[in-house]
Amino acid sequence: MFVNVPAVQSCYLQHSAAAFFARWDCVIMETEKTVSILQTKEFSTMRKKAAALLLALVLCIGAAGTLPAAAAGSSSVSSTTSSRSGTPIQLTDEHLKLTVPTGLYAFTQNTDPSDPSLAKAGITNWIRQKQDMQQQNEILLICAPNSAYTIYLRKKDTSSTQKYYNMKDMSGTAVQSLMSELNKPESSVNGSDSIKSSSKRVTGAAGLPYVYVEMNGTLDNKKVQEAAYLTIANGRSYTLGTYREIGALTAPQHASLKALADSLQVTQYLPKQQESGGSAFSALFLAGPLLFLAALVAVLYIVGRVSRTHEKRRKAVMLERITDYRRRQEEKEAAARERGIPLAGPEVLVENTTKCVKKALQRFSRVDLLLNRKGTWIFLLIAAALCLFIATKDSSTLVRIFAILGAVFCVIYILRIPHKVFQAEDGTYRKMKTRKVRYQFRAEDFRVTGVSSGVYPYVQIAKVYETSRYFYLYLGANHVCLVNKHDFTKGTADDLRAILQKQCSNFKPHRKHRNK
């Protein structure tokens, strides 16, 4: 038996199981309010209204003490010599131990990529599997030879798991409520996918209580089945599960999953930490003026520092890529001069002529807000929610007024962003004789004729978003190329997508094409 791990994810897990465990999280978790991410590009545009926004920030800081924090990290793993019954494994950081059945391979996120057991288990792409494992919070993966089947052990740390802390101490009503939610059937909008689940409360051979869940149904016209043991220990939820995409789970899968659940033990039950009193919330507002001034100075300093650092880094990377592109072009020109022939222009692979009418620009302004400025509106929505929370909880009239004004400001600011973007883009096209823009996409660059005419290497593209009707190529914060999928004069949208996926690391395809 070997102890290592990449995470093997099936199409089924990415769809059906993901939907199921999202529903499990909704039951296991109370709503977790997350602290928004400071995104430099958006904050640099908000400095003109810093005073008003900072007021909302200060009010948000006052309520931030109530937000739960997520725990992360990989477990230390140790194993002893294999026996006939299997290989004992101890997850030190999780205070867990279990026995992996003989003939199976166990892996963690700290697996050495050169470990020969990876190949024996059918793992061919360690980097991708490790990334999937980290995204799914998997601390252990057990694989049959040649990936005949896999069993995963996932963990989750939320406010609700902290509340229940240990399933052995949960009331029967709480467990029944959980099982009722897990038993709800799920079906897709078009009716082609249908998943039904059943659950029951069981106890492992080692005495650990579980909610055992089985899911059966169809996904993409395939019969699928998944089984899982769910438990809560020391404030974290742990899930042992396995699946099969076509047909029912095999007898070895059921046997291996049950053997793992029977062997899983909690090596140490930690005492539950007592929550601190609510006096700290009120104390934050007693020093309101000082807190406001301190936050004002701190936020302005952090925003300025992060903005400058991000901009320097972006320019350095961009300059390096453009320099390399120009060097290659100069080498081609020099080679052509040595042969005494003119340098032939690169072949046009895809050609498109897009008319940037007002409707297209309005559509772009909304997409720009939802995709490119995601950090801004998420941050402002959280700020508005926290302001409203303060307005309902604080007894001070002055604080409640400022909180309501802060919430109103955040909502209005979000609604005005698309309007301002549309005005800026439409103003540019109004100055031109025509709103038609011609694009010629080649192997290493693309030519634009019309607004901002020129030749741009693909390395100059900061990011690309694809929607159902357009490609949006961001050459900078205020320079975007709109490519209509229905206006190709040479090639197709699929051809352009292939070029952009190959040349642009920050390409975000439409959801229909993400798994292709």
Q: What is the mean pLDDT of residues 239-254?
A: 87
Closest by Cα among 225, 222, 233 to 254: 225
Same domain, 405 and 506: yes
Three-state DSSP state, 79: strand
Same domain, 206 and 323: no
Residue 6 lies in a domain: no
| Bridge partner list, 88 | 99
Indicate if the pLDDT at residue 83 is higher than 70: no
Question: CB–CB of 286/394 below 8 Å?
Answer: no
The model's pLDDT over 392-449, given as tens digits with 9 standing for 90+, comes to 876 678 888 888 998 999 999 999 999 999 988 888 888 888 889 999 999 888 999 8
Indicate if the pLDDT at residue 45 is higher than 60: no
Q: Count structural domains, the chain.
A: 2
Strands 507-508 and 463-466: parallel
Domain that holds residue 84: 11-27+70-266
Indicate if the pLDDT at residue 258 is higher than 50: yes
Same domain, 294 and 182: no
Same domain, 169 and 250: yes
Q: What is the dihedral of CA 10, 16, 17, 21, to 10 degrees?
A: 150
pTM: 0.42
Same domain, 205 and 295: no
Q: Which residue reads 């798994």 in tokens?
A: 515
Residue 277 lies in a domain: no
| Bridge partner list, 150 | 143
Q: Which residue has the higher pLDDT, 320 or 70?
A: 320
We report the CATH number of the domain holding residue 132 as 3.40.1000.10
Work out the angle at residue 20's Cα, subtended by the Cα atoms of residues 19 and 26, and round it to the nearest 5 degrees: 90
Residue 195 lies in a domain: yes
Same domain, 160 and 303: no
Same domain, 222 and 187: yes
The model's pLDDT over 15-43, given as tens digits with 9 standing for 90+, comes to 444 444 444 454 444 334 333 333 334 43
What radius of gyration do the chain's Cα atoms show? 28
Q: Which residue reads 């801004």 in tokens?
A: 376
Q: Which residue reads 């166990």 in tokens?
A: 106
Residue 348 lies in a domain: yes
Indicate if the pLDDT at residue 197 is higher than 90: no
Indicate if the pLDDT at residue 353 is higher than 90: yes
Same domain, 373 and 316: yes
Same domain, 60 and 80: no
Structure tokens at 38: 């400071």
Structure tokens at 203: 């106890």
Distance CA 99, CA 204 (A): 13
Residue 245's identity, in one-letter code, is E
Q: What is the mean pLDDT of the chain?
A: 77
Structure tokens at 72: 């992360």
Same domain, 381 and 494: yes
The model's pLDDT over 329-351, given as tens digits with 9 standing for 90+, comes to 788 778 877 887 777 778 899 99
Residue 275 lies in a domain: no
Indicate if the pLDDT at residue 56 is higher than 50: no
Distance CA 371, CA 467 (A): 10
Structure tokens at 493: 């949208």
Highest average pLDDT, of 151-165, 214-228, 291-305, comes from 151-165
Q: What is the mean pLDDT of residues 228-245?
A: 89
Question: CB–CB of 113/4 below 8 Å?
Answer: no
Residue 276 lies in a domain: no
Same domain, 351 and 258: no
**Last residue within a domain, chosen from 233, 266, 299:** 266
Distance (Å) of CA 298 to CA 280, 293, 294, 303, 405: 21, 9, 6, 8, 22
Q: Which residue reads 């100075």 in tokens?
A: 297
Residue 243 lies in a domain: yes
The model's pLDDT over 96-143, given as tens digits with 9 standing for 90+, comes to 999 999 999 988 888 888 888 888 888 888 888 888 888 888 999 899
pLDDT band at 290 (very low <50, low <70, confident <90, very high): low
Q: Which residue has the higher pLDDT, 288 or 261?
A: 261
Distance CA 92, CA 107 (A): 15
Distance (Å) of CA 301 to CA 39, 197, 308, 311: 14, 52, 11, 15
Which DSSP string corresponds to 41-55? Answer: HHHHHTGGGHHHHHH
Closest by Cα among 94, 30, 232, 71 to 157: 71
Indicate if the pLDDT at residue 230 is higher than 80: yes
Alpha helices by DSSP H, 217-278: 251-263
Q: What is the mean pLDDT of residues 244-260?
A: 87
Indicate if the pLDDT at residue 194 is higher than 90: no
Report the sign of the C-alpha dihedral through residues 99, 8, 186, 220, in that order: negative
Same domain, 443 and 503: yes
Q: Which long-range contacts (CB under 8 A, 24 or more apart) does 204-210 make?
A: 204/229, 204/261, 204/262, 204/263, 204/264, 205/262, 205/263, 206/262, 206/263, 206/264, 206/265, 207/265, 208/168, 208/233, 208/261, 208/264, 208/265, 208/266, 209/167, 209/168, 210/167, 210/261
**Last residue within a domain, chosen from 211, 236, 266:** 266
Distance CA 485, CA 471 (A): 7
Question: CB–CB of 196/185 below 8 Å?
Answer: yes
pLDDT score, position 183: 65
Closest by Cα among 31, 24, 40, 23 to 379: 40
Distance (Å) of CA 361 to CA 172, 380, 419, 425, 429: 56, 24, 10, 7, 10
Strands (E), 417-499: 436-441, 445-449, 454-457, 463-466, 470-476, 479-484, 488-490
